Amino acid sequence: MSQLINKIKSVAKGEKPMPVLQTDAKGGRWFNELPPNARVAIEKDFLDHNGNYVNKKPYLIESEQTPGRFWVFRSKPGFELRNDFDLFLERGRIYVFEKK
């Protein structure tokens, strides 16, 4: 019930509501639209003050095969070596969540 009330309040304020998180049988999670508090990521978003990659940072990758689908991930050791991370980052297809 509180989610419904929050959704009504955000619509009344003119804010875009958070899209529904989808899941599949293999544990994949995605949004069918970009959440309102997400923005295009830059490499600096994933680095700490020592220049090391941050662990457990949530991020989204926009699917090339299914445009408009944003896969949900969390950073972990070696994550930047998988999923063509640097290529997607260069193309502006990785998003991070902004804090409000």
Please state, in angstroms and rounded to a whole number, the distance separating the CA atoms of residues 38 and 16.
12
Strand-pairing partners, residue 97, are 38
Within a 13 Å sphere around the CA of 80, how many CA atoms are in the beta-carbon half? 14
Element of type H or E holding 58: strand 58-62
Alpha helices in 1-100 (DSSP H): 2-12, 85-90
Question: Each residue of 10-69: pLDDT tens digit?
Answer: 666 667 788 999 999 999 999 999 999 999 999 999 999 998 889 999 999 999 899 899
Question: Each residue of 87-97: pLDDT tens digit?
Answer: 899 999 999 99
Direct distance between the N- and C-terminal alpha carbons of the chain, in angstroms, rounded to an integer:
23
Give pLDDT, residue 10: 62
Global pTM value:
0.79
Give pLDDT, residue 14: 66
